[in-house]
Amino acid sequence: MTTYSSHYINGQWVKAQSAETLPVHDSSTEEVMATVPAGTAQEAEQAVLAARAAFDGWSSLTAEERAVYLDKIAAGLKARAEEMALAISREVGMPLKMSRIVQVGGPTWHWGNYAKIARSFEWEKRVGNSLVVREPIGVVGCITPWNYPLSQITLKIAPALAAGCTVVLKPSEIAPVNAMILAEIIHEAGLPPGVFNLVNGMGPVVGEVLATHPEVDMVSFTGSTGAGKRVGQLASQSVKRVALELGGKSASVILDDADFEAAVKGTVSACMLNSGQTCSAHTRMLVPAGRYEEVKTLAQAAIAKFSVGPSLEETSRLGPLVSANQRDRVLGFIRTGIKEGADVIAGGAEPPAFEKGYFVKPTILGIKSTDTLAQEEIFGPVLVVIPYKDEEEAVAIANSTIYGLAGGVWSGSDEHAMKVARRIRTGQIDINGGPFNANAPFGGYKQSGNGREAGVYGFEEFLEFKAMQLKPVAA
């Protein structure tokens, strides 16, 4: 077991003020794999003030100078990639071979990509008699989740640092080990003191300081919609900029002219990634009512290939959920669905036969569009199949939740799929299984949040506009 006893504040490891610690569990064995200190409001404020003191110096560096630091961090991540992947697989439950690619490979690429974006960005532009310049917004408080912990940290602090902001990070208390490793890498990269700070702790303590402190100019939060509303409410009192990446209930709409075998297989995969612990997971599969039985057979064949097992076993395609609470929550949703009359296509509420670990069987349920499981974000390996009578009803069902994060449309032609996709109110939508684009904007409509992450779109979230009105030159 690894014991962490310090926070990272003002360029150094500072011993925690409180003796209270937060346990981190291995999701496959339930053993405590590490402990981190429970930060106090005072420590969070120290970190904020350190970030404020460092802002003028960091923001006055050239984009090239800041980009060099980001490249060093990317190199440090590459050097410790296996250690990082192992930690995340144990914390979160994603099988190790996938963690290497998704949980670590992706974030490492983003660090280097933001260095490139900072170098090539158009920082100022002449508009008539004005010089419009882009400047960093200031001190940014970053509150991140546990499901893709390093990725969500990276998509906040890498663009913020590249833009010239200074940051205070509160990582998830459920999966903080990766953040501690990243802080070590950042320290080795030699950033000026106070540019990056990390305080572990609970949302109602550390997170609320970041949301309310007058010296924090922006809060970037990823997590549940309920918690996001709280962050937005608190931040509004000091009129901070708020970026929220929240929940989803994404629909995969399979049109009658689609390749059903490819569409069902693709939808099952898009739902089950990271054991369904993905905000953009395609958790609703909308199918023509007349082809429901065909879809059931195809779905059963697709789900059978998802072998469940501990995250460090090479044969595992689906690992455990992150915690006992998450497992119990997901099982509760499955029981609710069955109680409401769901057709159990695969899986169910009986846990797999493992003595330890937070496992849930990959489950597919046939339901109605008005059922609880058609509206609530489950955040586990649960796919619901909803029949529709025609294309109009399919679009209506897809738009019938409070969320609008992601989704997909499957058709015999991209043109038909895109025509339907334009009617679906969601921030990202896959056309016939189109792959994820790490430079495209990621974020949602409605209660899935506001703001965008990734690529230049995520970079610009951390910038302000300034217009300098110049005296026109006499003709």
- Return the closest-CA partner of residue 351 out of 275, 279, 286, 295: 275
Is residue 279 annotated as part of the catalytic site, yes or no?
A: yes
**Of these residues, 142, 165, 271, 279, which one is catalytic?**
279
Phi/psi class of residue 154: alpha, beta or left (left: φ > 0; alpha: ψ in -120 to 50)? alpha
The bridge status of strand 463-469 relative to strand 130-136 is antiparallel
Whether 376 and 333 have beta carbons less than 8 Å apart is answered as yes
What pairs with residue 21 in β-bridges?
A: 37
- The SS3 assignment for 32 reads strand
- Return the closest-CA partner of residue 18 out of 206, 179, 194, 197: 206
Is residue 245 annotated as part of the catalytic site, yes or no?
A: yes
Residue 349 to residue 353: CA distance in whole angstroms:
12
Residue 250 to residue 406: CA distance in whole angstroms:
5
Residue 329 to residue 373: CA distance in whole angstroms:
12
What is Dmax (Cα atoms) for the chain? 84
Helix (H), strand (E) at residue 468: strand 463-469
Residue 43 to residue 48: CA distance in whole angstroms:
9
DSSP 325-341: HHHHHHHHHHHHHHHTT
- Count Cβ atoms below 10 Å from residue 421 Cβ, excluding itself: 20
**Of these residues, 43, 173, 208, 245, which one is catalytic?**
245
Amino acid identity, position 131: L
Residue 57 to residue 275: CA distance in whole angstroms:
43
Whether 244 and 232 have beta carbons less than 8 Å apart is answered as yes
Torsion of CA 364, 369, 373, 378, to 10 degrees: 80
Q: Locate tokens 């119990």: which residue?
A: 328
- Count Cβ atoms below 10 Å from residue 435 Cβ, excluding itself: 6
Token pair of 239, please?
């009129």
Token pair of 345, please?
């296509």
Q: Which residues are catalytic?
A: 245, 279
